[in-house]
Amino acid sequence: MDLGSFLQYLISGLTIGSTYGLTALGFTIIFNATRVINFAQGEFVMMGGMLSVFFLSAMGAGLFPAIVLAVTCTTLAGVVMERLVIRPVQGANVINIILITIGVSIFIRGLVMLFLGKDTFALPPFMGTESLNFFGATIIPQSLWILTITMFVLVGLRIFFNKTIFGKAMLACSFEQKAAHLVGISVDRMVMLSFAISALVGSIGGVILAPITMTSYDVGILLGLKGFAACILGGLGNPFGAAAGGLIIGVLEALGAGYISSAFKDAFAFIILLAILFVKPSGIFGKAEIERV
């Protein structure tokens, strides 16, 4: 086993794992606010990539404005989704709401297919095409962009949840909803905000990955499921576990494809998901709550 190819697998794993991690974060944020698994999360990721391509090619916007527009539109789509299909069924059984999110995901996929077609598109890399050599591994600049942007998103979310009163209020809703109402937090508004942030984070994950893996109307299914696997791996409800879970799944997938067989590349995430559910269903970072009664 030579170092160069190992590093190569590691880097490509971290690169794709970043998107899984961001997808998983999206799941986590909505889950924490509502106890709902939003199976339309993968579609937010897809919309990030596909709308960027659309704004870039069809509207003739520059790459950067196209990305900003795509991310903004996806965020708005998250808000609209909450307002139109989640809020009206408030108080319904969580399972029913989860089924509704599956419906929304089919709807979004269909809509994108109808307007943007079934083709596969590539987004140009953000900047630089010259690859770097790192101990025998080749790093394309887009990988560095992906890792940097993911770091920024993670730091940004950390600041939002730990330092701002809105982030703390959102956490408060997930810990003790009645008390959140009683201190004057509008839980409805926090749920809407959680959909906005999830869509934002998911679409960023889709945009940064699109130059590497290409994108089409149906990439959201697999990305969503892998993000979900990452979420379970990291411990459902734990944002930083989710991000770490994404990176771990990305790396294991890349190593598995490299050393075992690339034919099973997509299977690894689900093998890990099953293994975790059998062995430690609370996830590797899931821990018992500290509590004194």
What does the binding site for other proteins look like in residue numbers (CB under 8 A)? 165, 168-169, 171-172, 175-176, 178-186, 289-293
Min dist CB 29 to other proteins, Å, is 16
Comparing CB distances to other proteins, the nearer of 237 and 245 is 237
DSSP 85: I
Which is nearer to other proteins, 130 or 289 (by Cβ)?
Answer: 289
Burial (CB count <10 Å: 0-12, 13-18, 19+), residue 188:
middle
Least distance CB 130 / other proteins (angstroms): 44
Nearer to other proteins by Cβ, of 88 and 184: the residue is 184
Alpha-carbon distance 79 to 30, whole Å? 12
Residue 174 Cβ, how far from other proteins at the closest point, in Å?
Answer: 9
Given a contact cutoff of 8 angstroms between Cβ atoms, the answer to whether 268 and 257 are in contact is yes
Return the residue matching tokens 């810990």.
175
Beta carbon of residue 293, minimum distance to other proteins (angstroms, whole number): 7
Residue 132 token pair = 């770097």
Give the residue from 180, 210, 207, 183 showing the smallest Cα distance to 194: 180
What DSSP element (H or E) covers 134? Answer: strand 132-134
Q: How far apart are CA 6 and CA 137, in angstroms?
A: 8
Nearer to other proteins, 116 or 169 (CB): 169
User: Which CB atom, from 173 or from 247, has the smaller least distance to other proteins?
Assistant: 173
Question: What is the smallest separation between the CB atom of 189 and other proteins, expressed in angstroms?
Answer: 9
